[in-house]
């Protein structure tokens, strides 16, 4: 793998700002990468009941099809993001998204559930190169005053990718089964990956560094001992663990009595992800203007309210709850992930990777563990588990304080505590 070198020396031009022509290619390119990444990652989520039936596994067992991908991504995101410090942000993202797209075409050929899980693990490793590196790329290339909106759009692209993967897979399942569904999403993701390769410009402010294990360990330790960053990592774990638990097991609830909904209808409910797209962009704008802290707290509170709205056995209440929960989740995640990039003073890609590692460990661990609650008591205990996770994250958010919430602090930074 060849190293990526800066296309311009820092100071030769201004960092990209919202509304500039170059910003359009960056936004659209990363939007396409987000579509590919999260369509692949979440395409199996609405298919969990079908996978449980096809391979004769329990709800908690079938959730391994989801947890395998997110768990592998969590394990790989730190070393892969460290490679981006050596070889370049764009090069790592391109390799990652193309490999994941090819693997997406192999998953539907799985002859058994263990093979499917193994391919999902490989896919998770491949996908690791996009999320954390994209955050570092934006932090380097985009002006601080526009970073909130740029990050919000990136998270919005992730949301639409998850939406397309889930809705598309649900619709195709009723047409030709889960294999056709996964293949169709894989083909779509590969097309988005190629668009990303064509659009995204090279880095202008990236400076490659030689790989040194001691330097890597030192920067890793620095990003782990910063107590504000640690609290942001816990926030990521709690947010994603709660979010994935709801969507994983709501598919089982809605496919069973008294609802008895088809895979197409269940998949169509994921259209509420559009609320997440709007919420993440809006949260970024508000955070740029008024600070991150109130937006983060508000996002958590909205998410809890949405989860509680899913308790009644009424489809209208469940859909309303999903809209509210999804909006709150994406608002909080957009702000928290952007806060990590602004806070980190050393190896920002690595700090973002640590956040995403915690984030996807939450998806993998809590997403599977929530199946124990669902299997033993149905939906109310599952909601209780989710609310406990969110309250833990909210308590960490409340202790962050207002010290580095304003736009000026994005430029000034913080000293590690």
The per-residue pLDDT for range 95-124, each reduced to its tens digit, is: 999 999 999 999 999 999 999 999 999 999
- Residue 65 in tokens: 């099809």
The whole-number pLDDT of residue 189 equals 93
Mean pLDDT of 125-138: 83
Whether residue 213 lies inside any domain: the answer is: no
The whole-number pLDDT of residue 2 equals 44
Whether residue 2 lies inside any domain: the answer is: no
Does the pLDDT at position 407 exceed 60?
no
Helical (H) or strand (E) element with 354: helix 348-361
More confident site: 238 or 291:
238
Mean pLDDT of 382-411: 76
The whole-number pLDDT of residue 417 equals 39
316-329 confidence digits (pLDDT tens): 999 999 999 999 99
Kindly tell me the burial class for residue 212, based on how many C-beta atoms sit within 10 Å of its own C-beta (0-12, 13-18, 19 or more).
Answer: exposed
Mean pLDDT of 361-388: 92
The whole-number pLDDT of residue 288 equals 75
Mean pLDDT of 215-240: 86
Whether residue 5 lies inside any domain: the answer is: no
More confident site: 90 or 276:
90
CA 410: distance to chain centroid?
Answer: 22
Helix, strand, or coil (residue 142): strand
What is the average pLDDT score of the chain? 84
More confident site: 174 or 10:
174
Give the Cα separation of 287 and 280 in Å (integer).
10
The whole-number pLDDT of residue 185 equals 94
Mean pLDDT of 47-67: 90
Give the range with max mean pLDDT: 125-134, 219-228, 384-393: 384-393
The whole-number pLDDT of residue 236 equals 95
Q: Lowest mean pLDDT: which of 85-89, 160-164, 166-170, 411-415?
A: 411-415
The whole-number pLDDT of residue 72 equals 93
Does the pLDDT at position 411 exceed 70?
no
Does the pLDDT at position 340 exceed 50?
yes
The whole-number pLDDT of residue 415 equals 38
Q: Tell me, what CATH number does 165's domain have?
A: 1.20.1250.20
Does the pLDDT at position 178 exceed 90?
yes
The whole-number pLDDT of residue 153 equals 67
Does the pLDDT at position 404 exceed 70?
no
Domain count, the chain: 1
Give the Cα separation of 343 and 403 in Å (integer).
11
The whole-number pLDDT of residue 123 equals 94
The whole-number pLDDT of residue 148 equals 66
Residues for the chain: how many in total? 417
DSSP 159-171: HHHHHHHHHHHHH
Whether residue 52 lies inside any domain: the answer is: yes
- State the residue for tokens 């002006």: 143
Does the pLDDT at position 24 exceed 90?
no
210 within 8 A of 86, measured Cβ to Cβ: yes
Does the pLDDT at position 268 exceed 80?
yes
Percent of the chain with pLDDT over 70: 87
Whether residue 12 lies inside any domain: the answer is: no
Q: Lowest mean pLDDT: which of 51-60, 147-156, 179-188?
A: 147-156
List Cβ<8 Å contacts ≥24 apart for 355-358: 355/132, 355/229, 355/232, 355/233, 355/236, 356/73, 356/74, 356/77, 356/131, 356/132, 356/236, 357/74, 357/75, 357/77, 357/78, 357/233, 358/74, 358/233, 358/234, 358/236, 358/237
The whole-number pLDDT of residue 122 equals 95
The whole-number pLDDT of residue 84 equals 82
Helix, strand, or coil (residue 16): strand
The whole-number pLDDT of residue 208 equals 67
Whether residue 14 lies inside any domain: the answer is: no
Does the pLDDT at position 416 exceed 60?
no
The one-character DSSP state at 4 is P
Quickly state the pLDDT bin for 146 (edges 50, 70, 90). low
Mean pLDDT of 133-140: 81
Does the pLDDT at position 207 exceed 90?
no
Helix, strand, or coil (residue 110): coil
Domain of residue 334 covers 21-205+219-412
The whole-number pLDDT of residue 5 equals 47
More confident site: 277 or 351:
351
Whether residue 7 lies inside any domain: the answer is: no
- State the residue for tokens 């097309």: 191
Whether residue 9 lies inside any domain: the answer is: no
């Amino acid at each position: 793998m060849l190293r990526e070198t800066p296309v311009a020396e820092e100071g030769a031009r201004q960092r990209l700002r919202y509304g500039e022509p170059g910003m359009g290619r960056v936004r659209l390119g990363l939007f396409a990468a987000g579509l590919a990444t999260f369509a692949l990652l979440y395409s199996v989520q609405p298919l969990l009941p079908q996978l449980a039936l096809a391979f004769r596994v329990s709800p908690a067992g079938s959730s391994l099809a989801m947890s395998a991908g997110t768990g592998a991504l969590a394990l790989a995101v730190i070393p892969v993001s460290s490679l981006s410090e050596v070889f370049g942000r764009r090069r790592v993202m391109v390799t990652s998204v193309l490999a994941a797209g090819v693997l997406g075409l192999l998953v539907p050929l799985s002859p058994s559930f263990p093979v499917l899980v193994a391919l999902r693990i490989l896919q998770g490793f491949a996908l690791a190169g996009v999320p954390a590196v994209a955050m570092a790329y934006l932090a380097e290339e985009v002006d601080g005053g526009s970073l909130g909106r740029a990050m919000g759009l990136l998270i919005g692209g992730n949301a639409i990718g998850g939406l397309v993967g889930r809705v598309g897979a649900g619709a195709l399942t009723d047409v030709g089964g889960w294999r056709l569904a996964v293949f169709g999403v894989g083909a779509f993701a590969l097309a988005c990956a190629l668009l990303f390769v064509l659009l995204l410009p090279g880095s202008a402010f990236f400076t490659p560094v030689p790989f040194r294990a001691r330097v890597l360990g030192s920067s890793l330790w620095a990003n782990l001992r910063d107590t504000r960053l640690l609290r942001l990592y816990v926030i990521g774990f709690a947010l994603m663990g709660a979010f994935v638990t709801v969507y994983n097991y709501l598919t089982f609830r809605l496919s069973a009595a008294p609802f008895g909904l088809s895979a197409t209808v269940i998949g169509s409910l994921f259209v509420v992800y559009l609320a997440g797209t709007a919420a993440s962009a809006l949260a970024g704008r508000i955070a740029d203007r008024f600070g991150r802290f109130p937006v983060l707290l508000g996002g958590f509170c909205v998410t809890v309210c949405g989860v509680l709205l899913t308790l009644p056995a009424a489809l209208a209440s469940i859909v309303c709850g999903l809209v509210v929960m999804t909006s709150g989740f994406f608002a909080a995640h957009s702000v928290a992930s952007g806060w990590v990039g602004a806070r980190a003073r050393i190896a920002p890609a690595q700090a973002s990777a640590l956040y995403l590692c915690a984030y996807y460990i939450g998806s993998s661990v809590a997403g599977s563990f929530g199946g124990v609650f669902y299997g033993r008591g149905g939906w109310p205990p599952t909601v209780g588990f989710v609310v406990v996770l969110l309250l833990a994250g909210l308590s960490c958010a409340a202790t962050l304080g207002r010290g580095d919430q304003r736009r000026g602090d994005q430029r000034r930074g913080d000293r590690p505590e």
